[in-house]
Amino acid sequence: MSRDLAESTLNRLRTKLESERDRLVRVIDEFEREREASRLAETSSEHAADPDSADGGSLAFEMEMDLSKQQNAQELLDKVRHALDRMDQGLYGICEVTGKPIPVARLEALPYATTLVEWAHRV
Protein backbone atom coordinates (compact mmCIF):
# COMPACT_ATOMS: atom_id res chain seq x y z
CA MET A 1 0.00 0.00 0.00
CA SER A 2 1.39 3.39 -0.90
CA ARG A 3 0.30 6.86 0.05
CA ASP A 4 -0.39 9.44 -2.62
CA LEU A 5 1.33 12.61 -1.47
CA ALA A 6 2.05 15.48 -3.81
CA GLU A 7 5.64 15.31 -5.02
CA SER A 8 6.28 18.82 -3.67
CA THR A 9 4.99 17.75 -0.24
CA LEU A 10 7.07 14.59 -0.28
CA ASN A 11 10.18 16.53 -1.32
CA ARG A 12 9.60 19.14 1.40
CA LEU A 13 9.20 16.44 4.05
CA ARG A 14 12.23 14.53 2.78
CA THR A 15 14.29 17.73 3.03
CA LYS A 16 13.08 18.25 6.62
CA LEU A 17 13.95 14.66 7.54
CA GLU A 18 17.38 14.81 5.91
CA SER A 19 18.17 18.13 7.62
CA GLU A 20 17.09 16.72 10.97
CA ARG A 21 19.13 13.55 10.38
CA ASP A 22 22.24 15.61 9.62
CA ARG A 23 21.68 17.86 12.66
CA LEU A 24 21.24 14.89 14.98
CA VAL A 25 24.37 13.18 13.66
CA ARG A 26 26.32 16.37 14.43
CA VAL A 27 24.79 16.60 17.93
CA ILE A 28 25.61 12.96 18.72
CA ASP A 29 29.15 13.36 17.37
CA GLU A 30 29.64 16.44 19.56
CA PHE A 31 28.41 14.58 22.65
CA GLU A 32 30.86 11.76 21.89
CA ARG A 33 33.76 14.20 21.40
CA GLU A 34 32.93 15.98 24.67
CA ARG A 35 32.64 12.71 26.57
CA GLU A 36 35.98 11.50 25.20
CA ALA A 37 37.64 14.82 26.06
CA SER A 38 36.18 14.57 29.56
CA ARG A 39 37.52 11.02 29.96
CA LEU A 40 40.96 12.07 28.79
CA ALA A 41 40.98 15.07 31.13
CA GLU A 42 39.91 12.88 34.05
CA THR A 43 42.56 10.23 33.43
CA SER A 44 45.30 12.81 32.89
CA SER A 45 44.56 14.81 36.04
CA GLU A 46 46.33 13.90 39.23
CA HIS A 47 43.17 13.96 41.25
CA ALA A 48 39.81 12.97 39.85
CA ALA A 49 36.83 14.63 41.47
CA ASP A 50 35.55 12.65 44.43
CA PRO A 51 32.03 11.49 43.50
CA ASP A 52 30.96 12.11 47.11
CA SER A 53 32.06 15.76 47.02
CA ALA A 54 29.90 18.60 45.73
CA ASP A 55 32.12 19.02 42.65
CA GLY A 56 32.15 15.29 41.95
CA GLY A 57 28.38 15.03 42.38
CA SER A 58 27.82 17.98 40.09
CA LEU A 59 30.15 16.51 37.48
CA ALA A 60 28.42 13.13 37.68
CA PHE A 61 25.02 14.84 37.31
CA GLU A 62 26.20 16.78 34.25
CA MET A 63 27.61 13.64 32.66
CA GLU A 64 24.35 11.78 33.32
CA MET A 65 22.34 14.62 31.77
CA ASP A 66 24.59 14.66 28.69
CA LEU A 67 24.25 10.90 28.33
CA SER A 68 20.47 11.21 28.57
CA LYS A 69 20.47 13.95 25.92
CA GLN A 70 22.67 11.81 23.69
CA GLN A 71 20.35 8.82 24.10
CA ASN A 72 17.34 11.00 23.26
CA ALA A 73 19.11 12.32 20.17
CA GLN A 74 19.96 8.75 19.11
CA GLU A 75 16.34 7.61 19.55
CA LEU A 76 15.13 10.55 17.48
CA LEU A 77 17.78 9.84 14.82
CA ASP A 78 16.54 6.24 14.64
CA LYS A 79 12.98 7.51 14.08
CA VAL A 80 14.13 9.91 11.36
CA ARG A 81 16.07 7.17 9.58
CA HIS A 82 13.08 4.84 9.85
CA ALA A 83 10.82 7.49 8.29
CA LEU A 84 13.32 8.00 5.45
CA ASP A 85 13.43 4.23 4.89
CA ARG A 86 9.63 4.13 4.75
CA MET A 87 9.73 6.99 2.26
CA ASP A 88 12.15 5.03 0.06
CA GLN A 89 9.83 1.99 0.27
CA GLY A 90 6.76 4.03 -0.67
CA LEU A 91 5.21 3.51 2.77
CA TYR A 92 5.72 7.01 4.14
CA GLY A 93 2.62 8.68 5.53
CA ILE A 94 0.84 5.40 6.25
CA CYS A 95 0.13 4.46 9.86
CA GLU A 96 2.15 1.39 10.83
CA VAL A 97 -0.68 0.23 13.10
CA THR A 98 -3.86 0.85 11.12
CA GLY A 99 -2.63 1.22 7.53
CA LYS A 100 -4.59 4.49 7.25
CA PRO A 101 -3.09 7.71 5.88
CA ILE A 102 -1.43 10.00 8.44
CA PRO A 103 -2.73 13.56 8.01
CA VAL A 104 -0.29 15.86 6.23
CA ALA A 105 -0.57 18.36 9.10
CA ARG A 106 0.85 15.70 11.46
CA LEU A 107 3.65 14.90 9.03
CA GLU A 108 4.44 18.61 8.68
CA ALA A 109 4.67 18.94 12.46
CA LEU A 110 6.46 15.60 13.01
CA PRO A 111 7.92 14.39 9.72
CA TYR A 112 9.17 11.19 11.38
CA ALA A 113 5.68 10.20 12.57
CA THR A 114 4.78 6.65 11.53
CA THR A 115 1.45 6.35 13.31
CA LEU A 116 -1.77 8.26 13.63
CA VAL A 117 -1.77 10.51 16.69
CA GLU A 118 -4.11 8.19 18.62
CA TRP A 119 -1.55 5.37 18.31
CA ALA A 120 1.55 7.46 19.01
CA HIS A 121 1.68 6.70 22.74
CA ARG A 122 1.06 2.98 22.27
CA VAL A 123 4.05 2.12 20.09
For residue 82, tell me if it sits in a domain. yes
Give the separation between CA 72 and CA 64, rounded to whole angstroms.
12
For residue 1, tell me if it sits in a domain. no
For residue 79, tell me if it sits in a domain. yes
Cβ neighbours around 20 below 10 Å, total = 18
Q: Please state the domain count of the chain.
A: 1
Share of the chain above pLDDT 90, in %: 60
Q: Any idea what the CATH number is for the domain that residue 37 is in? A: 1.20.120.910
Read off the pTM: 0.76
For residue 30, tell me if it sits in a domain. yes
For residue 69, tell me if it sits in a domain. yes
For residue 27, tell me if it sits in a domain. yes
pLDDT in tens, 79-115: 999 999 999 999 999 999 999 999 999 999 999 999 9
For residue 86, the enclosing domain spans 7-119
Residue 29 C-beta-side C-alpha neighbours within 13 Å: 6
For residue 2, tell me if it sits in a domain. no
For residue 112, tell me if it sits in a domain. yes
